[in-house]
Structure 1
Amino acid sequence: MPLELLKYGLRRGHKPFHDIPPTPDLRRSYDVVIIGGGGHGLAAAYYLSRYHGITNVAVLEKGYLAGGNTARNTTTVRSNYLTIPSIEFYREGVSLFENMSHELGFNVMFSQRGQLTLAHSDGAMRSFRLRAEMGKHAGTRIEVVDARGVQKICPHVNMDFGGQHEVLGGLWHADGGTARHDAVAWGYAKRAAENGVQIHQRTEVTGFGVSGDRVTEVRTNRGTIQAGQVLQAAGGMNGRIAEMAGIRLPIRCFPLQAMVTQPLKPFLDILLSSSDLHTYLVQSSRGEIVIGGGTDPYQLASTRSTLPQKEALATGALQLMPFLHNVKLLRQWAGITDITPDFSPIMGASPLQNYWLDAGWGTWGFKATGVAGKRMAETVATARVPDILRPFALDRFSRFELLNEMGATAAGH
């Protein structure tokens, strides 16, 4: 291998290639305009071009490719939710991650290592039994384990016997894993571009032209374009973009912070989380310990990290693994979560006939990258919302048919 790399490096006449073509000039019109160049938008562009033959597609990203929440998450993939519609949706998402590297011909570094969520009270154990039964009914690998089972799965965790945060058991989700967030986005972007999709970075949407119940044009800082269909997948900016089109979404934005330590030798081969401590830990492929938790307790569309959240995350991490007390922190960052009242996304139709929504993802958007892109592409291509997305419709709020997933999000992301 070293000899082959040397020969490759010294080869004459080598022509470098670009995964993503340079930003082209805007066309006058597109069959589909996708607002948001993160994982969801890029995945939708790929599935539209690959499986539906729709290649006259523009992906508009106001910053750099996948530089929003896609670049700011903690890479968790799981399907251990509370309601059957959510479990079935995310289960399909997990299955897509399992085959994603092969599908895209691009290594997304998916590692299906399993997730263990700790219970520190009898009430938590009861809720875990409910989640386990719901998960088994929907076909996921999930089970409740006792304290001895927790120690077997993760011998490094502090059981705190008799203490304030004594571990009584846990919820073991064997399907849980991680994937490399930027690799997922670039894999979808590379293949979509090869299929003819245009990716426009530094292209900010500034407004829409609406005639009757249809969007006719999308206005940007680089010009105005005509659009046959529009798909909104703008992460933390979803509420603001929808307002430009005259659509009010039941979304509130909260910062979500995380941080990583210096690299350590591999020791944590699972995803470990605690809802009571609002903390979760996972070791990356580079050895860093990724530490995250719940959202900040105030509304704010900001990516600024803060000292109080750093202290809170460090406190939770040290309760779970006290031996990390001398480990240095390397980085801290924040994303913007767009959270709905029932902690479930909004997917499908909007009040405008040709304007489609992929919004309200809160803290769980990355794990849905593949399935949201696939199913939203199907929706746009056929102008029909598939059955798997119907429970997530915007009008569920007016029908009072909510999907309460708040208890499934606490620190699991």
Structure 2
Amino acid sequence: MPLTLLKYGLPGDHVPTRDIPPTPDLKRSYDVAIIGGGGHGLAAAHYLSKYHGIRNVAVLEKGYLAGGNTARNTTTIRSNYITNQSIRFYKEAVSLYESMSHELNFNVMFSQRGQLTLAHSDSTLRSFHLRAEMGRHNGTRISVVDQQQVRELCPHLNMDMGGQHEVVGGLWHEDGGTARHDAVAWGYAAQASGRGVEIHQRTEVQGFDIAGDRVAAIRTNRGTIRVGQVIQAAGGLNEQVARMAGIELPIRCFPLQAMVTQPLKPFLNTLVSSANLHTYLVQSSRGEIVIGGGSDPYQLAATRSTLDLKEQLAHGAVQLFPFLHNVKLLRQWAGITDMTPDYTPIMGASPLKNYWLDCGWGTWGFKATPVAGKYMAETVARERVADILQPFSLKRFETISLINEMGATAASH
């Protein structure tokens, strides 16, 4: 192997290859235009080109590749939701993550370590029994654990016996894990672009030309393109983009902040979350402690960080692991969550016949990347909403068929 590397690296005529080609000029028309070059848009491009043979596709990204919420999350993957519809959906997402590195021929660093959600009261523990029964009914690995089992799963955790935040048990989700967010995005982008999909960075959608009940063309800062079909997957800007197309979405945007510490020796083998403390933690492969919590309590479409959230997250982290009190923070960041009233995404049809929605993800977007991409691609290719996406229709707000997942967050909102 060393000799092979030397032979590969020393010759002066070696020309490095690029995973993703440079941004090309826009063509006049595309079969499919995808608004948003994050995980969901790139995944849809991959599945369209690989499994449905649709390769005349343009991914339009306002900024740089996967620079929005895909780059601003804490990479948690799980399926421990409350309703049957959501559990089945996210269960398939976990399954797709398990085989993603093979699917993309790209190491996405998927690590399935399990998630432990703490109960600090008997009432919370009772609600965990409901979630465990729903999860097992749908085939996920999930169970309620007692104090002793919590200690075994997370030996360094402060149980606070007899204190205000005493840990009385937990919800153990064995399927939970993490993946490298930029690797997921680049893996999908490389596969899609290798089949002819065009990825247009620094390309901002500025408006739509509507003909009857269809989008005829998209106006961008680099020119106008005619389109056959459109997928909107614009993350925190979904409400604004839809409004340009004349579509009103029941979405409100809130900042979601997180931070990361200096690297430490490995001690946290699971994802740990506490809704009472509005805090969750996971240790990265580099040893950093990633700390997140609930979204900010006020509407704002901005990716700025604040001192009060930093203090709140630090308080929760030190309550759970007191020995972290002198650990230094490396960085803090924020994304924009596009929240719906029932804390469940909107996927599928819009009032325009060739305009398909992939939005309203709130804090769940990254974990749904492969399953959303897979079935949005199927929906566009067949021009019919995939069965698994039917419950997440925009029309559920007209028929009051809501799917309440508010209590399923890793750290309560």
TM bucket, shorter chain: over 0.9
1:3 and 1:262 mapped to 2: Cα distance? 36
1:43 and 1:163 mapped to 2: Cα distance? 46
1:109 and 1:235 mapped to 2: Cα distance? 23
What residue is the counterpart of 1:342 in the other structure? 342
What residue is the counterpart of 1:249 in the other structure? 249
Contact preservation (8 Å) 1:280, 1:412:
no
Contact preservation (8 Å) 1:117, 1:412:
no
Is residue 134 of structure 1 aligned with residue 134 of structure 2? yes
How far did residue 401 of structure 1 move?
0.5
1:14 and 1:265 mapped to 2: Cα distance? 39
2:4 and 2:326 mapped to 1: Cα distance? 42
- Correspondence 1:33-72 to 2 at 5 A: 33-72=33-72
1:289 and 1:175 mapped to 2: Cα distance? 20
Is residue 184 of structure 1 aligned with residue 202 of structure 2? no
2:239 and 2:410 mapped to 1: Cα distance? 22
What residue is the counterpart of 1:99 in the other structure? 99
2:307 and 2:66 mapped to 1: Cα distance? 26
Contact preservation (8 Å) 1:117, 1:172:
yes
What residue is the counterpart of 2:156 in the other structure? 156
What residue is the counterpart of 1:228 in the other structure? 228
Give SS of 1:30's match.
strand
What residue is the counterpart of 2:16 in the other structure? 16
How far did residue 15 of structure 1 move?
1.3
The C-alpha deviation readout for 1:245-295, integer Å capped at 9, x for no partner, is: 000000000000000000011111110100110100000011100000000
How far did residue 13 of structure 1 move?
1.8
How far did residue 9 of structure 1 move?
2.0
What residue is the counterpart of 1:270 in the other structure? 270
2:223 and 2:6 mapped to 1: Cα distance? 46
Is residue 398 of structure 1 aligned with residue 375 of structure 2? no
Give SS of 2:309's match.
helix
How far did residue 411 of structure 1 move?
1.5
How far did residue 194 of structure 1 move?
0.5
What residue is the counterpart of 1:331 in the other structure? 331
How far did residue 3 of structure 1 move?
4.5
* Amino acid aligned to 2:109: M
How far did residue 2 of structure 1 move?
4.5
* Amino acid aligned to 2:164: Q
In structure 1, list runs of 5 or more residues that go unmatched: none
1:130 and 1:278 mapped to 2: Cα distance? 21
What residue is the counterpart of 2:355 in the other structure? 355
The C-alpha deviation readout for 1:139-180, integer Å capped at 9, x for no partner, is: 000000001110010001100000000000000000000000
What residue is the counterpart of 2:196 in the other structure? 196
Count how many residue pairs are aligned between Structure 1 and Structure 2. Answer: 413
What residue is the counterpart of 1:166 in the other structure? 166
* Amino acid aligned to 1:342: D
What residue is the counterpart of 2:207 in the other structure? 207
How far did residue 115 of structure 1 move?
0.3
2:320 and 2:138 mapped to 1: Cα distance? 31
The C-alpha deviation readout for 1:300-353, integer Å capped at 9, x for no partner, is: 001000000000000000000000011100000000000000000000000000
Q: Which range moves more in the overlay, 31-40 or 2-11? A: 2-11
| TM-score for the superposition, normalised by structure 1 | 0.99
1:6 and 1:286 mapped to 2: Cα distance? 28
2:205 and 2:21 mapped to 1: Cα distance? 21
2:363 and 2:99 mapped to 1: Cα distance? 23
What residue is the counterpart of 1:314 in the other structure? 314
2:162 and 2:5 mapped to 1: Cα distance? 57
What residue is the counterpart of 2:237 in the other structure? 237
Contact preservation (8 Å) 1:62, 1:203:
yes
How far did residue 11 of structure 1 move?
2.7
1:126 and 1:408 mapped to 2: Cα distance? 14
2:151 and 2:11 mapped to 1: Cα distance? 53
Contact preservation (8 Å) 1:230, 1:354:
yes
Contact preservation (8 Å) 1:84, 1:138:
yes
2:123 and 2:234 mapped to 1: Cα distance? 37
1:32 and 1:181 mapped to 2: Cα distance? 25
- Correspondence 1:89-128 to 2 at 5 A: 89-128=89-128
How far did residue 14 of structure 1 move?
1.1
2:359 and 2:312 mapped to 1: Cα distance? 28
| TM-score for the superposition, normalised by structure 2 | 0.99
* Amino acid aligned to 1:165: H
Residues 410 and 175 of structure 1, relative CA distance in 2, 3 Å threshold: closer
1:37 and 1:142 mapped to 2: Cα distance? 33
Contact preservation (8 Å) 1:30, 1:226:
yes
The C-alpha deviation readout for 1:97-140, integer Å capped at 9, x for no partner, is: 00000001000000000000000011110110000000000000
How far did residue 412 of structure 1 move?
8.0
What residue is the counterpart of 1:216 in the other structure? 216
Give SS of 1:22's match.
coil
2:38 and 2:2 mapped to 1: Cα distance? 35
Give SS of 2:99's match.
helix
In structure 2, list runs of 5 or more residues that go unmatched: none
What residue is the counterpart of 1:30 in the other structure? 30
Give SS of 1:296's match.
coil
1:197 and 1:129 mapped to 2: Cα distance? 46
The C-alpha deviation readout for 1:49-95, integer Å capped at 9, x for no partner, is: 00000000000000000000000000000000000000000000000
How far did residue 386 of structure 1 move?
1.3
Contact preservation (8 Å) 2:280, 2:410:
no
1:333 and 1:119 mapped to 2: Cα distance? 28
2:38 and 2:9 mapped to 1: Cα distance? 32
What residue is the counterpart of 1:285 in the other structure? 285
How far did residue 410 of structure 1 move?
4.5
1:6 and 1:237 mapped to 2: Cα distance? 47
